[in-house]
Amino acid sequence: MHTKGQLEWRIRSIVCVLGLLILVSVDGADVPMTILSSAVAIGAVCLDGSAPAYHFSPGSGSGVNNWLVHMEGGGWCRNTQECLARRDTYRGSSKHMPPLSFSGILGNQQSSNPDFYNWNRIKIRYCDGSSFTGDVDTVDPNTNLHYRGNRIWLAIIQDLLAKGMNKAQNALLSGCSAGGLASILHCDKFRSLLPATAKVKCLSDAGYFIDAKDVSGGQYIRSFYQDVITTHGSAKNLPSSCTSRLPSGLCFFPQYVVPQMRTPLFILNAAYDSWQIRNILAPNNADPEKTWSECKLAIKKCTSAQLNTVQDFRSEFLNAIPRMGSTSSTGMFIDSCNAHCQSGSVDTWFSAYSNSIRKTPIGKAVGDWYYDREVVQLIDCPYPCNPTCKIVKDD
């Protein structure tokens, strides 16, 4: 037998657990994946030839005609060997994609995503290795590699238009890392496909990769991107506003594309982006003695000389982004964190403990910019001044 007090305690405990389960089911449940089988007929396929995929959480209430399309990140493959290594994984095939849930900018809780929680929210899976820019018609039967990233992007956008995005009142194209670069490269095209009356903007999270020399004085990232463009046949799908002025290899770098963009852009990036420090500033081939191995893992492990080099990299990054005040349509949140991708988790997006600049969390900054509530151009002080920074894993 239980006393009255014990029964009340058990009831309260059950109610509490049920409340937590309900919260998890709403904010953390897997979002169904749509396999776009019809895209195969037009050759819009992953590296292995499988159909592309996306996850779709429909909008509701005031957000039913608002669309947030977010592109997954995951690096690039620059040659046959690297693309083969991806082909039979979730980075190259929809057959191997694990389920996923939405959080951060894609979350469905008003308290943690007040400006976008009830929009139609989509995450496009990344399985082409070219930031959705590739298009090579020929397929080598020895490798069965399909370089069709641009076709994937167009096929999925057309599918979304048919599902109601052609009536969009508000739309935001976003992405993280390689997806963040794609949000820049496809931004004006996205704008052109939506109703002229719609408010359309783009957000690049950790996608502003800069054209910088590495610690050996070489230009590793330039040659890397040129190889990606050549392998995937990407040149014809890069913004013509850039390729008409510069070699296509430079048009993978946002600093040469953004000045000619017509659609408003928000740049969310860490000035000490962990991927860029590891792969642009100190790639392995530029550091054969591995003197940068500890520093690349965490800035706090850098020597004083290395820290000076890292601070110079920050200065180079700031020189590569649009000048503050040059246009109010460009939003910026450049923090001093050693992070990569900060919009995908509620912890960094919009919570009491989120990465912040001048007490403004990322989610609020993006929302204020999107709805024109204020001009948002926030640039943090140099490392190590920001105590809100958290370590964020690559997408």
Q: What is the CA 281 to chain-centroid distance, rounded?
A: 20
Give yes or no: 216 in active site: no
Q: Are strands 360-361 and 356-357 parallel, antiparallel or unpaired?
A: antiparallel
Concatenating the DSSP letter of every residue in 46-86 gives -TTSPPPEEEEE---GGGTTEEEEEE-------SHHHHHHH
User: Exactly one of 94, 112, 177, 336 is catalytic; which is it?
Assistant: 177
Give yes or no: 273 in active site: yes
User: Exactly one of 211, 214, 273, 380 is catalytic; which is it?
Assistant: 273
Give yes or no: 186 in active site: no
Task: Report the Cα–Cα distance between both ends of the chain, in Å, rounded.
Answer: 53
Contact 184, 177 (CB under 8 A): no
Concatenating the DSSP letter of every residue in 271-315 gives TT-HHHIIIIIS-GGG-TT-TTHHHHH-GGG--HHHHHHHHHHHH
The rounded distance, in Å, linking the Cα atoms of 153 and 28 is 26
Burial class of residue 360, CB neighbours in 10 A (0-12, 13-18, 19+): middle
Cα-based angle 32, 37, 40 (whole degrees, multiple of 5): 140
Number of H helices, E strands in the chain: 13, 11
User: Exactly one of 55, 146, 232, 340 is catalytic; which is it?
Assistant: 340
Place of tokens 């930031």: 131
DSSP 30: B
The rounded distance, in Å, linking the Cα atoms of 330 and 307 is 30
The rounded distance, in Å, linking the Cα atoms of 317 and 272 is 9
The rounded distance, in Å, linking the Cα atoms of 43 and 317 is 38
Active site residues: 177, 273, 340
